[in-house]
Structure 1
Amino acid sequence: MSEQLAPTDADRYDRIVDEVFETVADAAPELRDAICGRRGEADGENPSGDQQLEADRWFDRLLADRLGGIDGVGAYASEEREDPIDCGSGVSLTVDPLDGSSNLVSNNLVGTIVGVYDAALPAAGREMIGAGYVVYGPTITMIQARGETVAEYEIVDGERRPLREGFELPDDPTVFGFGGGDDEWPPAFQRYADDAREELKLRYGGALVGDVNQVLRYGGVFAYPTLQSREEGKLRLQFEANPIAYIARAAGGAASDGDRSILDVPADRLHKRTPLYVGNEKLIRELPDDL
């Protein structure tokens, strides 16, 4: 268990969070280039039981090396590893090195998600002090949140160039994207989805970073609900849901597991799964009570 930083050390927190995302930005072009030739399956599964690809492991090794070497990072945890790596004293990082890696088979959008916690892992979302993600699209972009502010950058030659700073979700939402087969959705969510189709446009690509990025740009809602085959949900609380919820809140939105804020979901194990509903606050408030 890593020793945590003193709560009064705000300046050091800011420095560490910024260095984490500066390091991710610096590595992003190398990471995207590394996908070529590494789209095949690796021999094994990750701790959540998903088939690993060669690129999953490559991304994880590079990020563990770069992020674990930052002064003030005490632990590095990855979706691809059973347990966190002890890096010394400081904050704890959770990393989904290659979000949406199944999209590599069809050459579609993927990304990287990072959460920064001032607590030993597993930790609740309220312990987060920063979060962000990278989208490897036609250009490489990064969304980064710290406290109550969120910014978007374009990454050019490993450097962050500001696109939008201190932005919020648009007041008039226009898009939705829902994961899982609709034949497995609970009846209450099916009704919610039917209503969404009447008012919003479908935008769904199968990578959490891409689907959430659409919501942050245009306003709307993304959901990966409870399924008949996955009663606990599909997305990982520590690695995916908490960082995305933290970012959504900073952008004036909200995120829920269908019962409470994602940030309040107890973290009783590192690879815990959860349903996720995220987007404009009004659309999250309209979720049915019987999900």
Structure 2
Amino acid sequence: MQARQSLESHLDDWAADDPRRVAIADTLKAVAFAATALSELIGRGPLAGSLAAEVGGNAGGDVQKFLDVRADELFADAFRTAPVALVCSEECDQAVALNDGAPLAVAIDPLDGSSNIDTNVSIGTIVSVFPAPADGKTLPQGREQLAACFVIYGPQTAMVFTVGGGTHAATLDRATGRFIVTATRIKIPKGRREYAINASNYRFWDPAVQAYIDDCIAGAEGPRGENFNMRWIASLVAEAYRVLQRGGIFLYPRDARPGYQEGRLRLVYEANPIAFIIEQAGGGATDGIDRIMTIQPRSVHQRTPLVFGARDKVENVVRYHTEPPAAGETSPLFGRRGLFRV
């Protein structure tokens, strides 16, 4: 059996002697270095102390846990050794300048899913890499990203990444402390009948989202003509990893609750990198109407609805928003109502 390639070797082969590629490779190596240390800390759980202890609040108004802050420190330290000019982090009010004149900037959610720290559910890190803005302030659209990755800390610690030539995955070898490439050019499976959404918020959703989920729930007797399973892990990285492996679709729509009218996930350091990774695996990502990676960010912590997964399923969600059925057709009397009715 041919020996697997290390992440470092894979990135070096891709970068060759191209200066920009070398900078991107070095930045992803910095992510892997910090993620290895964070994985070890997470793996110790309560033996490492009160990782889920509340220690304050972040710029987005969320409660900060001890592990949120420690993760932010680990990645900030790692990026100081990489060609990164500034870092936009969920845990900081403003972008933090690091290496003056460096060619790259990074947007990061150092610890996604921190509400799951004390429940032993998979949590993660999400990273977007883009050119350092000339004015030090302007945020690019997602399609201007040079690389993106997420790390999932679960039964396995895995780093899923793209540099624009497909989506790949590397798994942490705990015996050596190195990431080993275990999958290249991942493609989201088609035809899988799974959707992920927090159904407890049904009453707050827009009618288009309600209609889409209603048609899934109706199953073989409804307009879709097939039965669906629902999944909900409440961990963005875990949901993304499952979609890459098993297909289907993930929805985190806007809703009528205070603080959720513009969506809940952050565009710059959550939705954009996930969208890049998903699109490079043949999928799609939208806010319900527009492609995520074409939205112009107004601020570092801007929120957005997010729907991603198999491209055909994502396109169907857009149709429910842009071609809604007549209002009367949502009545239970119209059991086979929907955009799929012939």
- The two structures have a TM-score, normalised by structure 2, of 0.78
1:286 partner SS: helix
Residue 212 of structure 2 is aligned to residue 192 of structure 1: yes
1:196 partner SS: helix
Residue 165 of structure 2 is aligned to residue 145 of structure 1: no
- Give a deviation string over 1:154-210, Cα, whole Å, max 9, x none: 111432212110121112224221147222222210111223343432221111000
Contact 1:92-1:119 within 8 A present in 2 as well: yes
Partner of 1:13: 20
Partner of 2:197: 178
Q: Residue type of the partner of 2:309? A: G
- In the alignment of these two chains, the number of paired residues is 282
Contact 2:128-2:149 within 8 A present in 1 as well: yes
C-alpha separation between the residues in 1 aligned to 2:292 and 2:17?
25
- The two structures have a TM-score, normalised by structure 1, of 0.91
Name which of structure 1's ranges 262-271 and 32-41 shifts more when overlaid on structure 2.
Answer: 32-41
Partner of 1:247: 277
2:18 partner SS: helix
- Give a deviation string over 1:70-108, Cα, whole Å, max 9, x none: 1x2111111000111112221110111010000113221
The within-5 A match list for 1:21-170 is 21-35=28-42, 36=45, 37-70=49-82, 72-87=83-98, 88=100, 89-120=102-133, 121-156=138-173, 157-170=176-189
Contact 2:33-2:78 within 8 A present in 1 as well: no
Partner of 2:4: none
Contact 2:195-2:231 within 8 A present in 1 as well: yes
C-alpha separation between the residues in 1 aligned to 2:234 and 2:150?
16
Name which of structure 1's ranges 29-38 and 241-250 shifts more when overlaid on structure 2.
Answer: 29-38
C-alpha separation between the residues in 2 aligned to 1:32 and 1:155?
9
Name which of structure 1's ranges 93-102 and 26-35 shifts more when overlaid on structure 2.
Answer: 26-35
Which one has a bigger Cα radius of gyration?
A: 2
C-alpha separation between the residues in 1 aligned to 2:197 and 2:237?
13
* Identity over aligned pairs, percent: 32
Q: Residue type of the partner of 2:240? A: V
C-alpha separation between the residues in 2 aligned to 1:131 and 1:68?
18
Name which of structure 1's ranges 166-175 and 253-262 shifts more when overlaid on structure 2.
Answer: 166-175
Unmatched 5+ stretches in structure 1: 1-8
Unmatched 5+ stretches in structure 2: 1-15, 220-226, 325-342
Return the offset for 1:148: 3.2
Q: Residue type of the partner of 2:216? A: A
Return the offset for 1:119: 4.3
Partner of 1:221: 249
2:37 partner SS: helix
- Give a deviation string over 1:11-52, Cα, whole Å, max 9, x none: 222222222222222222320232332423333211000000
Relative to total residues, which structure has the larger strand share, 1 or 2? 1
